[in-house]
Amino acid sequence: MKRLLLPAALAALVLAAYAPSLGGDYLWDDDLYLVSNRALEGPGALKRIWTEPQTPQYYPLVFTSFWLERKLWGLKPSATRSLNAVLHAADAWLFGAALAALGVPGAWAAPFLFALHPVQVETVAWMAERKNLLSTLFYLLAFLAYWSFRQAQGPRRRRLYAVSLGLFLCALWSKTVTCSLPAAILLCIAWRERRAPGWKDLKPLLPFFALGAGLGALTVWYETHRVGASGAAWALSPAARLALAGRVPWFYLGKLLWPAPLIFIYPRWVIAPSSPGAWLPLLALLGTFAALWAKRSNEACRAALFALAFFVLTLFPALGFFNVYPFRYSFVADHFQYLASLGPIALAAAALSLLPAGRTAAVGILSLALFAMTFDRSRAFHGLEGLWKDTLRKNPAAWIAHNNLGKLYVEADRIGDGLGHLEAALKLNPEGAETLNNIAVALIRIGQPQQAVKILGRALKVKPEYLDARFNLGVALDAMNLTEEAAAQYAEVLKEAPSRSEARYNLALDMMRSGQVVEALPHLRRVAAENPIPHAFNNLGAALAMLGRHDEAEAEFRRALSLDPRNEEAAANLQRLPRKP
């Protein structure tokens, strides 16, 4: 029982530190991951997550966890946020266990420094970053199993190896940044045993390297072809990428040492490899490695060398050599260093533990300060409006923050406020198709569809494949009573995305208006099957009534009313049906 007290206390501290965010709503792409994710709905959803992935990344364990949450308690952001906080506490505790297994001084202090550091708020309070939390959990469990395997004998040794490999696969199925684990294990062998790893050390890790390379390559493909990390924003020269790779680690180390200001969208650097100054961070990084290597006989330098090596190795996927979608807005983000931060934090904990006196007090004071900063930072993650406002206070040039805050205000019918932010976003990013689309939505709402059509034409010129803009062009044309032209836009959307129910629904309504009721029926049936809402059944009933199929129409109107007994339109349509003799 006593063994559970410390992890329970750590979990309680984490929940308390994140209290301002726990009752908050969904953020940014949480909607894509949890709320409107069709992959989580209906019969066979679990099978589809694993075998027919339609999700932004092939991280099936993450989406399985969201599917399980839906089964247990439905869509409850407070529950999802609380579970994220508990997973973070578990990661912190396993981090301490891994350090203890390695014999690192300060293993008792490291979990508190990691768990309470404010740089982790972006991972914990942003529900879509469940992938960081789950992958780190399995990464640390896989490490612990592998480290035990190295010391075990007989059948237990084989079992531990299989368990470690299975846990590593689970880590990869959560987020492939964990592909660095086998290299990290070799680093730990070199540090712990004071020798260069040999073939005997490398051979059992070959399956780990193979799995990591395979699933890592899959993630790169998904990021480019599914998520959309391609185009001008990612067109960096090899020299620019190398210069960026030298700058990124220093940025993250700086935020660990002095976590202020923490920004959801950091300023996007201009990388100019022709400037000598662009290469100074890389030269400083290489110089630091060289100096630590030269002084590796000194215990402190040796520890710093391995901590820095782990840090840079684990950060490698986010250094700039691969295209990742967030690079569109910034080359750095707090959640990118969640796993990598274990290295510097372990070094800090070891240093504190070696203080000649007052080490417990020092850890306690530092943990208290980190707690206060995390508590304050988590306030910004309570809701979208507060998050975007906090971002703009610290980075007024974040066009995506202006865009998303403007969109939020338009959806809340605060059109004036919304257009103000959208115009600011367009000034910062004149080729922003999303911003043009959002301005058009605002114009449609205030009865200016002609202007919206012009704006959407600009958006589609910038990004011809932008389906949201094409759909809204259909909406604007409908508002101008140009039914045939609107229907053509919806049909174009459905060619590229047959699952877009809203486009299918609008196309069916336009068909009904133009007298193509029979042609509209299959579209209405599919919409009602995929998205069983009252309006879908009501309009299906209306189409059937227009064809004189009154019994079928009555059944659809009654379905609409069973879902929404106050649906006046369905009730009126039901009353209009000819009475049966």
How far, in Å, CA of 468 to CA of 455, rounded? Answer: 13
How far, in Å, CA of 530 to CA of 500, rounded? Answer: 10
The confidence band for 209, taking pLDDT boundaries of 50, 70 and 90, is very high
Average pLDDT over residues 108-136: 97
Domain coordinates in residue numbering, the chain: 2-384, 398-495, 498-581
pLDDT higher than threshold 80 for residue 55: no
Kindly report the CATH class assigned to 398-495: mainly alpha
pLDDT of residue 104: 96
Query: Of 180, 185, 174, 186, which is closest to residue 213 (Cα–Cα)?
Result: 180
Q: How far is CA 41 from CA 30, 502, 568, in A?
A: 16, 17, 29
How far, in Å, CA of 573 to CA of 568, rounded? Answer: 9
Which positions ≥6 away from 517 have C-beta within 8 Å? Answer: 511, 543, 546, 547
Task: Tell me the one-letter amino acid at 461.
Answer: K
pLDDT higher than threshold 80 for residue 580: no
The confidence band for 531, taking pLDDT boundaries of 50, 70 and 90, is confident
pLDDT higher than threshold 70 for residue 477: yes
Mean pLDDT of the chain: 94
pLDDT of residue 2: 61
Question: Is 398-495's fold the same as 498-581's?
Answer: yes
CATH match for 498-581 among 1.25.40.10, 2.30.30.790, 3.40.1280.10, 3.40.50.10300:
1.25.40.10
Q: Write out pLDDT tens, residues 325-353.
A: 999 999 999 999 999 999 999 999 999 99
The confidence band for 358, taking pLDDT boundaries of 50, 70 and 90, is confident
DSSP 3-41: HHHHHHHHHHHHHHHTHHHHT----TTHIIIIIS-GGGS
Which positions ≥6 away from 536 have C-beta within 8 Å? Answer: 505, 524, 527, 528, 560
pLDDT higher than threshold 90 for residue 577: no
pLDDT higher than threshold 80 for residue 122: yes
How far, in Å, CA of 328 to CA of 431, rounded? Answer: 13
How far, in Å, CA of 179 to CA of 191, rounded? Answer: 20
pLDDT higher than threshold 80 for residue 60: yes
Average the pLDDT over each of 46-50, 132-136, 311-315, 346-350 and give the range with the smallest value: 46-50
Tokens 């689970």, located at residue: 170
Q: Write out pLDDT tens, residues 148-174.
A: 999 999 899 999 999 999 999 999 999
pLDDT of residue 92: 98
pLDDT higher than threshold 70 for residue 481: yes
Average the pLDDT over each of 48-62, 105-119, 274-288 and give the range with the smallest value: 48-62
Task: Tell me the one-letter amino acid at 179.
Answer: C
Cβ–Cβ < 8 Å for 315, 332: no
Average the pLDDT over each of 35-49, 143-157, 408-422 and give the range with the smallest value: 35-49
Radius of gyration of the chain (CA): 28
pLDDT of residue 581: 61
The length of the chain in residues reads 581
What predicted TM-score, i.e. pTM, was given to this entire model? 0.93
pLDDT of residue 533: 84
pLDDT higher than threshold 80 for residue 539: yes
How far, in Å, CA of 245 to CA of 162, rounded? Answer: 35
Cis-peptide into 261, omega within 30 deg: yes
Average the pLDDT over each of 76-80, 83-87, 111-115, 536-540 and give the range with the smallest value: 536-540
pLDDT of residue 421: 98
Q: Write out pLDDT tens, residues 385-400.
A: 999 999 999 999 999 9
Query: Of 167, 168, 216, 180, which is closest to residue 58 (Cα–Cα)?
Result: 216
